[in-house]
Amino acid sequence: MNTQQLIPEPLEQYCQLFDAAFTRPIQQATFRTYLQGLLLGTERHKTATGLANTEPGQLGSRHKDAQRVQWFLSESTWDPEELNDLRLAMLCRLASTAPCDGAVLVIDETGDRKYGTHTVHVGRQYLGSLGKVDSGIMTVHVLYDTPNAYVPLKFVPYTPAHHFERKTNDPTFKTKPQLAIDMIDAVRADWPYRAVVADSFSGRNEVFQTHLIRQHIPFVLALPASHTWWHTADQPGSALELALRAAPEAWQPLLRTYADGHQEIKWVAELQGGPFGPHHTFRLIVVTPDPVALPEDRTEYLISNLRTDDQDTRVWHAKTPPATLLEIALLDSRRPRIEQAYREVKQHVGWTHGQARSDLALRRHWNLVCVAFCFLSWEAAQPTDDPPTTEPHDDHHPSAAAQPPPTWSAALRRVRCYVEPFVWIWRAWRAFTTAEPPKTLLALLRSVAQGQPLSLYVT
């Protein structure tokens, strides 16, 4: 084993896929240090001192290793868009994330607290991670969700109006739905999808709706229960009123299976009234666990432009295969799962930890976080050393079915079970002595360096 080895072999092989984005060896070496630091646990924030493992505080920030990491982020010459292009090319080659017709494009908005007046994109706005209005940065993401995995394709930070000279009238100012439109147009030609799925913030935005309709982009968008329209006194005027008036036979059962394996029966109905119906621009679908009470926090109202059947030739409906109301409900069910899990995994790999003020440095840090996140999909797709079975193959046996892909938390734990021992054992030994490790310890280091995780949990 090379005792000067900096990172485990699987991570080294992965980093080599991105070496073309860096023009100098020092950039490639710092890229490896940065990526390994993002994949470690969160005992320390993933700032320049944490990633370089220098002493916390002002003294450690002046160390040459921390300065090199900060220079790599803020002043170096590499292009984050080129790095992102290499990441997308790698995802296209993986079976779990390769483009497929059954995928969906999920629009996600992430808000994280950030204070100060010298950092770009900071402003007082609603932050979903806090559930309130506070000072922070919002980013709009478009994710690609296949039946086996989900990965970020692109993201754009939202710049509040007060950063522009003419505020909202400035020609360069863009709202969050407009940023989402730009990203959808940028990726939809190369990444096939069944529909665009978004929450009620985009679902009730007329600019967003109009663009998708004009471009014949299929979508499933959420609406708030309070969504209303002009109506006479004797007619329902909101999505909630329509759902309350739905006939009992309109409801169909839908068995939902969640990520933890538990199942729940939902009730789905397609409603007609006001501006909604098969012959109108939008179809309106309601998904709820209780069609009588319609609990506010568990009932979803969805609009879609997917056709009802092959005879539907209306110009405002998408020119894609028709969809039943059950399929529309299942398409939307992929959004909340991703929004929740994606927010958590981004925090685990240091999305909010980057110490950067400029737009370029922030984008570089966020792209590096996306590269670290996609390492989980790449690592899970690598062949294992398990010996092949000699038992007869039975296609009908339960074990013959394809195993579901690991969740992001399980994949991250597996990676950390060999990255963390490799890093911390080497650090402890080198801090103790300059001598070579004994054979037993060297064998342990060789094992984790090859990507063999240690079972660190009580069984």
What domains appear along the chain, each with residue ranges and CATH number?
Answer: 81-348 (3.90.350)
Strand pairing partners for 107?
A: 142
Q: What is the pLDDT of residue 61?
A: 87
Side chain identity, residue 6: L
How does strand 195-198 pair with strand 219-223? Answer: parallel
Q: What is the pLDDT of residue 170?
A: 93
C-alpha dihedral sign at 378, 380, 386, 390: negative
Q: What is the pLDDT of residue 1?
A: 54
b/e burial code for range 395-410 (CB count within 10 A of at least 16 → b): eeeeeeeeeebbebee
Q: What is the dihedral of CA 114, 370, 17, 76, to 10 degrees?
A: -10
Q: What is the dihedral of CA 426, 427, 429, 432, to 10 degrees?
A: 170
Strand pairing partners for 155?
A: 141
Strand pairing partners for 282?
A: 276
Other CB atoms within a 10 A radius of the CB of residue 306 amount to 23
429 vs 446: CA distance, rounded Å: 14
273: left (phi over 0), alpha (psi -120 to 50) or beta: left
pLDDT in tens, the chain (459 residues): 565 678 999 999 999 999 999 999 999 999 999 999 999 987 788 888 888 888 888 888 889 999 999 999 999 999 999 999 999 999 999 999 999 999 999 999 888 888 877 889 999 998 877 888 999 999 999 999 998 899 999 999 999 999 999 999 999 999 999 999 999 999 999 999 999 999 988 888 999 999 999 999 999 999 998 889 998 888 899 999 999 999 999 999 999 887 777 889 999 999 999 899 888 889 999 999 999 999 999 999 999 999 999 888 888 899 999 999 999 999 999 998 788 788 888 888 989 887 788 999 999 999 999 999 999 999 999 887 654 444 444 444 333 334 455 688 889 999 999 999 999 999 899 899 989 999 999 999 999 999 999 987 776
Q: What is the pLDDT of residue 336?
A: 84
The residues, any chain, with a CB within 8 Å of residue 204's CB and separated by 6 or more, are 223, 224, 227
